[in-house]
């Protein structure tokens, strides 16, 4: 009879403030025999803080197939493994997806231990709608791939979130500002750390600011979607369409759901229009 395999735990770790580590993650990291980390130099202080003493193994974007197979073999023989990134939730613009996919294909249980995420943290305090958003990770450095990335980001009707290296933040904002300098944007940096900062402005304003002086620390950018700038014009069409659907005997709730799907506008905005007409 085949022995049961171990479990691969995907563990979110703090962005900066160690107090953000969940109790569940703390207990897990103290219990597992092996932690697979993007950068062991970043993870070792966290484990020391927790008084956790698992074996520590590096696994990053440049790890070879032998390292991947070694981890899978350990799991297959019954050893539990925790996968962590440098900060935040693994696989969100971090390595690890191949390990998770191969583990699942082999029938090895994969269990997420949720916690901090730079995307959700930035959205929660940016003052920009998080009802619907597109996360685009890090932009390509150059060429056609970068041009396509910029085009996608600027055309997206919903909020756009991305990461960028501090030294390249001004350049990215400038490239975006060339096409839409008035787009409202927030630059969030050093999330949950001592020098956490949110700076809001237009793409043009922020490009000028960060081209002159590059931000310090890790950067997350939150940009309003194209559709949000057109919402006032779309309001007329929404009212007309809402009146049509209500007149056909549809319930207000059904009309709201249908109009959100049809227009891509925020649900709360559509709700106000429909309820005003339904009175």
Contacts of 47 (CB under 8 A, 6+ apart): 29, 35, 53, 54, 56
Query: pLDDT confidence of 269, banded at 50, 70, 90?
Result: confident
Question: Which DSSP category does 141 fall into?
Answer: S
The pLDDT value recorded for residue 160 is 97
pTM for this model (two decimals): 0.78
pLDDT above 90 (res 25): yes
pLDDT above 50 (res 231): no
The pLDDT value recorded for residue 272 is 86
Concatenated DSSP letters for 13-48? B-SS-GGGS-HHHHHHHHH-SEEEES-HHHHHHHHH
51, two tokens: 């008084």
Question: Which DSSP category does 114 fall into?
Answer: -
* 201-212 residue pLDDT tens: 999 999 999 999
Average pLDDT rounded to a whole number, residues 99-110: 96
Cα–Cα–Cα angle for 171, 162, 118, rounded to 5 degrees: 125
- Per cent of the chain over pLDDT 90 is 77
Question: Which DSSP category does 219 fall into?
Answer: E
Name residue, tokens 């484990």: 47
Lowest mean pLDDT among 1-5, 23-27, 39-43: 1-5
Of the chain, the end-to-end C-alpha distance in Å amounts to 68
267, two tokens: 């649900």
Distance from C-alpha of 260 to C-alpha of 254, rounded to nearest angstrom: 10
Query: pLDDT confidence of 128, banded at 50, 70, 90?
Result: very high
pLDDT above 80 (res 235): no
* 35-88 residue pLDDT tens: 999 999 999 999 999 999 999 999 998 899 999 999 999 999 999 999 999 999
Average pLDDT rounded to a whole number, residues 3-9: 90
């Amino acid at each position: 009879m085949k022995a049961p395999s171990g479990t691969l735990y995907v563990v979110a770790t703090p962005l900066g403030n160690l107090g953000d580590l969940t109790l569940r993650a703390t207990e897990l990291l103290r219990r597992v025999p092996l932690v697979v980390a993007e950068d062991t130099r970043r993870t070792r202080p966290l484990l020391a803080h927790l008084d956790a003493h698992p074996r520590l193994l590096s696994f990053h974007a440049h790890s070879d197939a032998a390292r991947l197979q070694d981890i899978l073999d350990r799991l297959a023989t019954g050893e539990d493994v925790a996968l962590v990134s440098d900060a935040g939730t693994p696989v969100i613009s971090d390595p690890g997806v191949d390990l998770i996919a191969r583990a699942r294909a082999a029938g090895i249980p994969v269990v997420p231990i949720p916690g901090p995420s730079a995307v959700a943290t930035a959205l929660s305090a940016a003052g920009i709608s998080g009802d619907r958003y597109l996360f685009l990770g890090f932009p390509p450095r150059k060429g056609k791939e970068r041009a396509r990335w910029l085009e996608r980001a600027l055309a997206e009707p919903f909020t756009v979130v991305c990461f960028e290296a501090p030294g390249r933040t001004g350049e990215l904002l400038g490239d975006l500002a060339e096409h839409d300098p008035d787009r409202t944007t927030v630059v969030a940096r050093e999330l949950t750390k001592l020098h956490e900062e949110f700076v809001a402005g237009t793409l043009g304003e922020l490009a000028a600011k960060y081209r002159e002086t590059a931000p310090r620390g890790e950067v997350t950018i939150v940009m309003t979607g194209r559709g949000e700038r057109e919402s006032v014009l779309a309001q007329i069409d929404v009212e007309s369409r809402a009146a049509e659907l209500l007149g056909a005997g549809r319930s207000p709730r059904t009309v709201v759901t249908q109009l959100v799907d049809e227009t891509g506008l925020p649900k709360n905005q559509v709700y106000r229009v429909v309820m005003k007409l339904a009175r």
